[in-house]
C-alpha cells in the first residue's frame, strides 16, 4: 500500500509489517523519513529541517534553501553541499558536473515495471504490489532520474531501482548510478556482510561502525568469492531470533559496491549498486540507463526473520525456472573422481553404483570436448571428444538413462582457450586491449560478451550440443576474473561501458538458453561461489556453493549463504577424504549430513566405496527423497553459529508450516573431554503440541524443546553430526 500526503509531500510505502517513508523538502528534494516498523498513517512524520551550521552551504531548494549535508537524502548527489559519498554523478557535454536534480513529478502504478535487460523481482495479478515513481530533473542538462519503489505486501519486501534518461540534445556521461541510497540516524548499529575468498566464501562479518566509510565490493568483473552483493545494518544486540535489522541484496552479477558511511553527526548512509570504479556510461540524447534492482528487508525478528523474507522473495518471485518449486534431483558429478582422465567405459561403474543407491542424475564435468585432457585447451570448441567418448554424448546419455538416471553436462560458455579452434578463428573475440598482452587465468581468456555476435555464436554452439543428446541438467561454470576489460568493438567514448555491457550480454545468453530449454535444470558455478548472487538465481535456481567441499568448511559457507539465499539454491556434495582442498578427514556420515542440509549430491567415485559407505550413501539418498520437499521448500532456521564463540558448533532446522514436522541438524567440530550435556533450543514449534523424535520413544512438548532445548547425544569424536526428525503427535 502506498499513501500520499500531497499537501506535505510525504509518501508512505507499507507492507504487512514494514513501512518505508520519504518526503519532499520544499517540494523539490527527496529525503528519507522512515524505514522500519509499519506506520498506520503519515500523520506523525515531519520533514527534516536543515539549519545553518559552520561551514555548511545553503543550497537553493524550491522556494527555500537547505543544508544538503544535513539532509537525509533519498538519492544523494555531490557538488551542491552534500559532502558524503553520492549515489549518482554525471557530467554534461562540456564536462561540467551535473550538480542537482529536483523533483518534477510522481505517479503510483499497479504492479512494477520490468527492468530492460536485467533480472528483477516479478509481481503477480492480485498480489497488491504497487510502485511509486519519482521523476527528478536537472533543468540545464535535461537529465531525468526516475526512482522506482515497489511494495510487495505479501512478502514484506520493498524493491528499488533507478533509470536515467537523457531528454536533452547533448550527450551526458554517468560515472555513478547506485540502486539504493538511504540516510538514517545511527543507533549503535553494526555492519553485517558476507566476505571471504576462493574456498572460504560467505564468511559472516559483523563489526561496529566508526566514523568514515565502510565498504565491500568487487572489481573482478563478477560478484566474486571475496564479497557478496548484500549488506545489512543491525542492532548490536541483534541475534538470530531477535532484534532490528535493515538489509538489502543486489540483483546483479558484476562489479558492485556495498557501503555504509557514518558521518561526524552520527548519521548513516547506505549505498548499494554498480561499483563506480569500473563504471561509466554515455547517455546519448533520448537514451536511458537502468540500474540493477535492490531488494530491501526490514525485520524486528533477527537474522532468521531477515533470511526468511529474502528466501521467499527470491524463490517465489525472482527465480524463473520451472524447477523453482520442483524437487531437485540427487546427482553424482564425476569431477573429483576422474578429473580429465575418463572414457565412456570408465564412467559406467560410477553410473552403475549411483543407480544402485537411488541417485537420479549423472553429471559429466570438464574434459568431454575438443582435445581437453587438461585445462590448457579447447574452451569454446563445444564438440565431443570422440577419443574419450566414441559413441558421442548421445551414446553416453543412452547408457545413463538406460540405468534409470538422467544425464547432465558441464560447460564454461564465457571462456575461450588460446589453444582452440574458436580463438584461432576469432582472436579478437576475447576481452583485450589492442597492443597489450593477453594474460590468462587458468590458461584461458574471457569472451567479450559485450558483443552481440559473440553471444549469438555461443548460444548457437551450446544449443547444438543440447539438441544433440537428452541433456536434463547443465552446470554453467566460470573460472576466471575479468581483466583487460575493454572491447575494441565499442567506440572509444563507450569503452568504459564494457564491464556492465558484459553482464548484460551474460544475462541475454542465459535468458535465451534457459527460455529455449525450459526442460533443462541449469545450475550456476564460478569456481564454487564466485558468482553466488540473486542475478544468477533469476536464471539458474541453484549454484555450486564452493569448490571447498570439506564438511567443516562447508558449515560456515552454507551458514553464511543462508543469510540471503534459499536452501534450495545451495548445492552441496559428499566428497572423498582426505579432502581435496584442505586435506581433512571427516566421517562419511558427517559429510552426508552437511550435504543433506542443502541441495544434495555426490562428487566422488561411488564404485570405490566400501560396503559400509555404500550402505550409508543409499540411506542418505532414501532419507533425502523422503524429506526433500521440506529441505528445499520449508522454512529454514539457524540455531547455533559456527562464527560465534570458539566456532566448534553449528546447528539448524527445517520446519513445515504450522510446526507439524521438523528436521534438526547439529554438528560438533572438535570434541571436549568431560563435557556437560548439550541442549539445543529449537524454534517455530507449537508450544502446546507434543513431539516425538522419530525412531525413538522420546516425547517432548514444543515449549520444552524451545525452552530447555533438545538434549543432544554426547559426541563420540571430532567432526560429529546429529540429525533427528520431529513429528507432532
End-to-end Cα, the chain, rounded Å: 40
DSSP 390: T
Cα torsion 527, 531, 537, 542 to 10°: value is: 20
DSSP 468: H
> Which helix (H) or strand (E) is 599 found in, with range?
strand 599-603
- CA angle in degrees (0–180, nearest 5) for 88-508-254: 40
Q: Which residues touch 3 (CB under 8 Å, ≥6 apart)?
A: 11, 12, 14, 41, 42
Q: Please write the tens of the pLDDT for every residue from 444-495.
A: 999 999 999 999 999 999 999 999 999 999 999 999 999 999 999 999 999 9
Cell 566414441 identifies what position?
A: 390
Are the C-beta atoms of 222 and 254 separated by less than 8 Å?
yes
Res. 216: pLDDT tops 90: yes
Q: What is the pLDDT of residue 624?
A: 98
Q: How distant, in Å, are the alpha carbons of 337, 363, 608 from that of 346?
A: 11, 14, 12
Active site residues per annotation: 477, 547
When computed from its CA atoms, the radius of gyration of the chain, rounded to whole angstroms, is 27
List domains and CATH numbers for the chain: 2-45+59-318 (2.70.98.60), 331-417+453-480+519-632 (3.20.20.70), 639-728 (2.60.40.1180)
Res. 51: pLDDT tops 90: no
The residues that bridge with 267 in the sheet, in sequence order, are: 185
Res. 666: pLDDT tops 90: yes
Q: Please write the tens of the pLDDT for every residue from 297-314.
A: 999 999 999 999 999 999
Q: How distant, in Å, are the alpha carbons of 218, 349, 367, 729 from that of 338?
A: 33, 12, 10, 48
Q: Which of 338-347, 541-550, 554-563, 668-677 has the lowest mean pLDDT?
A: 668-677
Is residue 409 very low, low, confident or very high in pLDDT (cuts 50, 70, 90)? very high
Reduced to 3 states (helix: H, G, I; strand: E, B; else coil), residue 33 is strand
Reduced to 3 states (helix: H, G, I; strand: E, B; else coil), residue 563 is coil
Report residue 448 as a C-alpha cell. Answer: 567479450
Q: Please write the tens of the pLDDT for every residue from 154-163.
A: 999 999 999 9
Report residue 218 as a C-alpha cell. Answer: 568487487
Res. 50: pLDDT tops 80: no
Are the C-beta atoms of 617 and 574 separated by less than 8 Å?
yes
Q: What is the pLDDT of residue 573?
A: 98
Q: Please write the tens of the pLDDT for every residue from 350-384.
A: 999 999 999 999 999 999 999 999 999 999 999 99
Cα torsion 588, 523, 599, 195 to 10°: value is: 80
Mean pLDDT of the chain: 96
DSSP 510-522: HHHHHHH-TTSEE
Reduced to 3 states (helix: H, G, I; strand: E, B; else coil), residue 647 is coil
Q: What is the pLDDT of residue 60?
A: 87
- CA angle in degrees (0–180, nearest 5) for 460-489-276: 100
Of the candidates 223, 248, 251, the one whose C-alpha atom is nearest the C-alpha of residue 234 is 248
Q: Please write the tens of the pLDDT for every residue from 4-33.
A: 999 899 999 999 999 999 999 999 999 999
Identify the residue with better confidence: 206 or 698: 206
Q: Which of 49-58, 352-361, 410-419, 424-433 has the lowest mean pLDDT?
A: 49-58
Mean pLDDT of 140-154: 97
Q: What is the pLDDT of residue 146?
A: 98
> Which residue spans within 501-558 are E strands per DSSP?
521-524, 542-544
* Helix %, strand %, coil % of the chain (to 5): 20, 35, 45
The 3-class SS string of 132-162 reads: EEEEEEECCCCEEEEEEEEEEHHHCEEEEEE
> Which helix (H) or strand (E) is 424 found in, with range?
helix 421-425
Amino acid at each position: 500500500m502506498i499513501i500520499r500526503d500531497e499537501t506535505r509531500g510525504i509518501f508512505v510505502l507499507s507492507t504487512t509489517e514494514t513501512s518505508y517513508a520519504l518526503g519532499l523538502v520544499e517540494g523539490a528534494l527527496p529525503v528519507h523519513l522512515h524505514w522500519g516498523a509499519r506506520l498506520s498513517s503519515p500523520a506523525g512524520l515531519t520533514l527534516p529541517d536543515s539549519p545553518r551550521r559552520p561551514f555548511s552551504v545553503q543550497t537553493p531548494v524550491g522556494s527555500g534553501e537547505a543544508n544538503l549535508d544535513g539532509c537525509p537524502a533519498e538519492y544523494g548527489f555531490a557538488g551542491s553541499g552534500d559532502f558524503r559519498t553520492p549515489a549518482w554523478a554525471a557530467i554534461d557535454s562540456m564536462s561540467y558536473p551535473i550538480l542537482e536534480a529536483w523533483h518534477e513529478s510522481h505517479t503510483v502504478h499497479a504492479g512494477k515495471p520490468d527492468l530492460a535487460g536485467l533480472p528483477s523481482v516479478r509481481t503477480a495479478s492480485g498480489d497488491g504490489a504497487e510502485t511509486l515513481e519519482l521523476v527528478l530533473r536537472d533543468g540545464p542538462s535535461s537529465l531525468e532520474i526516475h526512482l522506482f519503489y515497489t511494495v510487495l505486501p505479501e512478502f514484506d519486501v520493498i524493491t528499488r531501482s533507478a533509470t536515467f534518461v537523457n531528454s536533452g540534445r547533448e550527450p551526458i556521461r554517468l560515472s555513478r548510478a547506485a540502486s539504493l541510497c538511504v540516510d538514517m540516524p545511527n543507533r549503535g548499529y553494526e555492519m553485517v556482510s558476507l566476505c571471504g575468498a576462493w574456498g572460504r566464501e560467505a564468511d559472516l562479518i559483523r563489526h561496529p561502525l566508526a566514523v568514515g566509510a565502510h565498504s565491500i565490493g568487487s572489481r573482478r568483473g563478477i560478484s566474486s568469492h571475496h564479497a557478496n552483493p548484500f549488506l545489512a545494518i543491525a542492532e548490536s544486540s541483534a541475534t538470530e531470533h531477535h532484534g532490528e535489522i535493515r538489509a538489502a541484496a543486489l540483483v546483479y552479477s558484476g562489479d558492485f559496491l556495498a557501503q555504509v558511511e557514518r558521518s561526524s553527526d552520527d548519521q548513516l548512509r547506505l549505498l548499494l549498486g554498480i561499483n563506480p570504479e569500473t563504471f561509466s556510461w554515455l547517455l546519448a540524447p533520448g537514451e536511458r540507463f537502468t540500474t540493477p534492482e535492490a531488494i530491501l528487508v526490514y525485520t524486528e525478528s533477527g537474522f532468521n526473520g531477515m533470511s526468511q523474507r529474502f528466501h521467499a522473495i527470491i524463490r517465489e518471485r525472482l527465480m524463473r525456472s520451472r524447477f523453482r518449486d520442483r524437487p531437485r534431483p540427487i546427482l553424482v558429478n564425476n569431477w573429483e573422481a576422474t578429473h580429465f582422465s575418463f572414457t565412456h567405459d570408465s564412467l559406467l561403474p560410477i553410473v552403475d553404483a549411483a543407480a544402485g543407491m537411488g541417485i537420479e542424475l549423472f553429471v559429466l564435468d570438464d574434459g568431454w570436448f575438443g582435445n581437453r585432457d587438461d585445462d590448457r585447451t579447447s574452451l569454446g570448441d563445444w564438440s565431443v571428444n570422440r577419443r574419450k567418448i566414441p559413441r558421442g554424448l548421445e551414446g553416453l546419455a543412452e547408457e545413463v538413462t538406460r540405468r534409470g538416471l538422467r544425464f547432465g553436462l558441464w560447460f564454461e560458455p564465457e571462456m575461450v582457450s588460446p589453444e582452440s579452434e574458436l580463438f584461432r578463428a576469432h582472436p579478437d573475440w576475447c576481452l583485450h586491449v589492442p597492443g597489450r598482452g593477453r594474460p590468462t587465468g587458468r590458461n584461458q581468456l574471457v569472451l567479450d560478451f559485450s558483443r552481440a555476435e559473440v553471444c549469438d555464436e555461443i548460444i548457437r554452439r551450446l544449443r547444438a550440443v543440447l539438441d544433440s543428446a537428452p541433456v536434463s541438467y547443465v552446470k554453467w561454470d566460470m573460472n576466471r576474473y575479468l581483466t583487460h576489460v575493454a572491447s575494441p568493438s565499442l567506440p572509444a567514448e563507450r569503452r568504459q561501458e564494457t564491464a556492465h555491457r558484459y553482464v548484460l550480454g551474460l544475462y541475454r545468453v542465459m535468458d535465451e538458453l534457459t527460455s529455449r530449454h525450459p526442460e533443462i535444470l541449469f545450475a550456476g558455478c564460478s569456481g564454487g561461489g564466485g558468482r553466488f548472487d540473486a542475478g544468477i538465481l533469476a536464471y539458474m535456481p541453484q549454484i555450486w556453493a564452493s569448490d571447498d567441499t570439506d564438511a567443516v568448511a562447508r558449515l560456515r559457507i552454507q551458514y553464511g549463504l543462508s543469510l540471503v539465499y534459499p536452501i534450495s539454491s545451495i548445492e552441496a556434495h559428499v566428497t572423498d577424504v582426505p579432502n581435496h582442498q584442505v586435506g581433512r578427514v571427516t566421517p562419511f556420515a558427517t559429510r552426508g549430513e552437511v550435504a543433506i542440509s542443502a541441495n544434495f549430491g555426490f562428487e566422488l567415485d561411488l564404485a570405490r566405496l566400501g560396503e559400509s559407505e555404500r550402505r550409508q550413501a543409499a540411506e542418505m539418498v532414501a532419507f533425502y527423497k523422503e524429506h526433500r520437499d521440506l529441505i528445499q521448500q520449508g522454512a529454514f532456521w539457524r540455531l547455533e553459529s559456527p562464527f560465534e564463540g570458539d566456532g566448534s558448533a553449528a546447528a539448524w532446522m527445517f520446519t513445515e508450516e504450522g510446526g507439524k514436522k521438523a528436521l534438526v541438524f547439529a554438528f560438533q567440530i572438535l570434541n571436549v573431554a568431560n563435557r556437560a550435556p548439550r541442549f539445543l533450543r529449537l524454534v517455530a514449534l507449537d508450544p502446546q503440541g507434543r513431539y516425538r523424535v522419530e525412531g525413538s520413544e522420546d516425547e517432548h512438548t514444543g515449549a520444552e524443546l524451545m525452552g530447555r532445548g533438545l538434549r543432544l547425544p554426547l559426541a563420540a569424536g571430532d567432526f560429529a553430526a546429529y540429525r533427528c526428525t520431529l513429528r507432532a503427535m
